[in-house]
Amino acid sequence: MRISVIGCGYVGLVTGTCLAELGHHVVCTDNDPERMASLKAGVVPIYEPYLDGMLAANCRANRLSFSIDAGEAVRTAEAIFICVGTPPLETGDTDLSAIDNVARLIAAEARTPKLVVEKSTVPAQTGQQLKRQLGHYRRNGGAEFRVASNPEFLREGTAVEDFLHPDRIVIGVDEEATERQLREIYRPILEGRFHCPMHLGGCPPTHSPELLVTTINSAELIKHASNSFLALKISYANVIADLCEKVGADIKEVTRAMGLDSRIGPRFLAAGLGFGGFCLPKDVQAFIRLAERTGVDFSMLKEAERVNKRRIDIFLEKIRQALWVLKDKQVGVLGLAFKANTDDIRFAPSLEVIRRLLAEGAQVRAYDREAMDRTSVILPQIQCCREPYEVARDADALLILTEWEEFRQLDWERIHGLMARPLVLDGRNLLEPKAMMKRGFEYHSFGQPVETVTARFVPPQISKVSEASVSA
Ligand code: UGA
């Protein structure tokens, strides 16, 4: 099928590339000329595992191309996927101006019938509005528009796999013809015949995903309801972690046992600094606003948001308790991205932690294998290092702010020797408290109380820890 994708951000690039991988002919367009120039030159402006290789392969196969000419992209397509940004407004509502612009563009340029698919995350009832706009601004008699909502459930860092091997595909439609066309688009995935390309392991999918056909309003709501539920789950785990600290329990033991109950499930129960990124925080806000506008009491979700904001305060308090005065302390930061396997720092908890450290006079050195360039632009006061060991040198404390696997594998004995004081505050519960204490570190995390660990395991180097703490 001839498909155009409007918007070449995370969602648009992954969607366009994966649709081409399924065998469609895809043109991607964006109104950012720099981004388009870079894509035309084969340079992918974001870090997303597997994306650049797959993008290049599909360009070579002439199934994928990039064009600055959005009008042409609209005219040639049978189906148009809208993947433009829907950022939050000051009020917490969603800024739908980019969707509105695209609707008017499609209406003005289309000469033949089009399926217009809403992929961007939008509040319920946006599809109805989109349909109206397409009708109001339609210029060419032959252009009939069908609208569908097809929310994405792509996690940054695993977006390509999530697209090709999804748990479910949701299509919100109001006509059978629309359903048929979308089934056709996703057929290789739905029939379970689609084998991942070699660079994804070459394995057949373990299951065929379920296709859910819903109304457009339901499909839109499913997206916000899913992301908000994930946020609730994370905040719930974080409050349990606080309770664990108070009663001397261990959050990892508690959530592991909870997660084995198939009604609860093990994922999104990792306690720590809380959720960040461009999706969960903004979708929670937008869902709260939707509830407010429609007169539904969703204070439960407001509480999840409040709990999430408090994570930073609690972490800062842990840092102050361990370091006492922050002024003139050398603090090393491992991890800047809002989560592992991405270079995205939008709404990353790390940024707020660093801002507060700087405000209290600490000196910050940081390392993140993907996110340093972006961070240096907005936080030029921090010193970015080429490797984690440089961050540790003479540091009074080392903070883990992103759960990169790389940090688990570091030579922690070497780091111990480099630091002015072997103090680690693990904002992502990445490391094993017992192992860290055995290596002689003073180690703090969330919901794994130091007392409990010490009581069960007294490491031989414990006196070294206290001596080091005193001398520092
Ligand atoms: C999220 C959803 O998971 C996707 O399904 C959705 O498609 C996407 O938003 C979107 O709306 O486009 P993403 O923003 O990539 O995906 O990130 P998540 O993996 O959901 O993580 C969000 C945040 O929660 C991260 O800061 C992560 O560190 C944190 N988190 C996650 C926890 O603190 N604990 C957990 O157990 C899991």
* Residue 179 structure tokens: 């359903």
Poorest-pLDDT segment among 167-171, 331-335, 458-462: 458-462
394-433 pLDDT, tens digit each: 999 999 999 999 999 999 999 999 999 999 999 999 999 9
How high does pLDDT run on average in the chain? 92
Phi, psi of 340 (to 5 degrees): -70, 160
Interatomic CA distance for residues 330 and 316, integer angstroms:
15
Q: Where are the alpha helices (H) located in 324-361, listed in sequence order?
A: 349-359
Residue nearest to atom 36 of ligand 1 (CA): 268
pTM of the model: 0.91
Burial of 339-372, coded b for 16+ CB within 10 Å and e otherwise, reads bbbbbbbbbbbbbbbbbbbbebebbbbbbbbbbb
- Residues 6 or more apart whose CB falls under 8 angstroms from that of 217 comprise 124, 125, 127, 128, 172
- Look at residues 190, 199, 200, 149 and name the one whose alpha carbon lies nearest to residue 166: 190
Burial of 314 (0-12, 13-18, 19+ CB in 10 A): middle
Interatomic CA distance for residues 221 and 458, integer angstroms:
51
> 146: helix, coil or strand?
strand
* Residue 467 structure tokens: 């001596």
**pLDDT at 304 (0 to 100):** 98
pLDDT value at 462 more than 70: no
DSSP conformational letter for 204: P
Pairing of strands 114-118, 79-82: parallel
pLDDT: is 460 or 133 the higher one? 133
**pLDDT at 192 (0 to 100):** 78
Ligand 1 pocket mutation pick from 220, 228, 280 by most atoms within 8 angstroms of CB: 280
> 186: helix, coil or strand?
helix
**Banded model confidence at residue 205, pLDDT cuts 50, 70, 90:** low
**pLDDT at 471 (0 to 100):** 37
What distance in angstroms lies between residue 280's CA and the mean position of ligand 1's atoms? 6
What distance in angstroms lies between residue 155's CA and the mean position of ligand 1's atoms? 6
What distance in angstroms lies between residue 275's CA and the mean position of ligand 1's atoms? 7
223-256 pLDDT, tens digit each: 999 999 999 999 999 999 999 999 999 999 999 9
Residue nearest to atom 37 of ligand 1 (CA): 268
**Banded model confidence at residue 465, pLDDT cuts 50, 70, 90:** very low
What distance in angstroms lies between residue 326's CA and the mean position of ligand 1's atoms? 31
pLDDT value at 470 more than 60: no
Ligand 1 pocket mutation pick from 161, 230, 311 by most atoms within 8 angstroms of CB: 230
Let me know: does 334 contact 391? Beta carbons within 8 Å.
Answer: yes
**Banded model confidence at residue 200, pLDDT cuts 50, 70, 90:** low
- Look at residues 294, 273, 275 and name the one whose alpha carbon lies nearest to residue 284: 275
HEC-encoded secondary structure of 361-423: CCEEEEECCCCHHHHHHHCCCCEECCCHHHHHCCCCEEEECCCCHHHHCCCHHHHHHHCCCCE
Residue nearest to atom 34 of ligand 1 (CA): 270
Domains (range + CATH), the chain:
2-214 (3.40.50.720), 216-472 (3.40.50.720)
| Ligand 1, atom nearest to 153 Cα | 7
**Banded model confidence at residue 457, pLDDT cuts 50, 70, 90:** very low
**pLDDT at 347 (0 to 100):** 96
CA dihedral 169, 94, 6, 212 (to 10 degrees): 10
Burial of 81 (0-12, 13-18, 19+ CB in 10 A): buried
> 329: helix, coil or strand?
coil
267-297 pLDDT, tens digit each: 999 999 999 999 999 999 999 999 999 999 9
pLDDT value at 459 more than 60: no
Interatomic CA distance for residues 448 and 70, integer angstroms:
53
**pLDDT at 449 (0 to 100):** 73
Ligand 1 pocket mutation pick from 232, 235, 279 by most atoms within 8 angstroms of CB: 279
**Banded model confidence at residue 466, pLDDT cuts 50, 70, 90:** very low
pLDDT value at 188 more than 60: yes
Report the percentage of the chain scoring pLDDT > 90: 88
Q: Is the dihedral of CA 452, 258, 298, 151 positive or negative?
A: positive
Q: Judge whether 279 counts as a catalytic residue.
A: yes
374-393 pLDDT, tens digit each: 999 999 999 999 999 999 99
303-346 pLDDT, tens digit each: 999 999 999 999 999 999 999 999 999 999 999 999 999 999 99
9-60 pLDDT, tens digit each: 999 999 999 999 999 999 999 999 999 999 999 999 999 999 999 999 999 9
Let me know: does 434 contact 231? Beta carbons within 8 Å.
Answer: no
**pLDDT at 87 (0 to 100):** 94
Catalytic pick among 244, 279, 384, 385: 279
Q: What is the mean pLDDT of residues 181-201?
A: 78
Q: Where are the alpha helices (H) located in 191-279, listed in sequence order?
A: 216-247, 251-259
Residue nearest to atom 14 of ligand 1 (CA): 279
Let me know: does 223 contact 121? Beta carbons within 8 Å.
Answer: yes
The one-letter amino acid at 354: I
* Residue 248 structure tokens: 């001397």
Q: What is the mean pLDDT of residues 445-468?
A: 54
The one-letter amino acid at 396: D
Residue nearest to atom 20 of ligand 1 (CA): 155
| Ligand 1 pocket, CB under 6 A | 121, 152-156, 227, 230, 234, 268-270, 272, 274-277, 279-280, 283, 338-339
- Residues 6 or more apart whose CB falls under 8 angstroms from that of 246 comprise none
What distance in angstroms lies between residue 339's CA and the mean position of ligand 1's atoms? 8
pLDDT value at 199 more than 60: no
What distance in angstroms lies between residue 312's CA and the mean position of ligand 1's atoms? 17
Query: Distances in Å between the alpha carbon of 204 and those of 54, 164, 450?
Result: 17, 11, 45
| Ligand 1, atom nearest to 155 Cα | 15
**pLDDT at 309 (0 to 100):** 97
- Look at residues 392, 398, 365 and name the one whose alpha carbon lies nearest to residue 379: 365
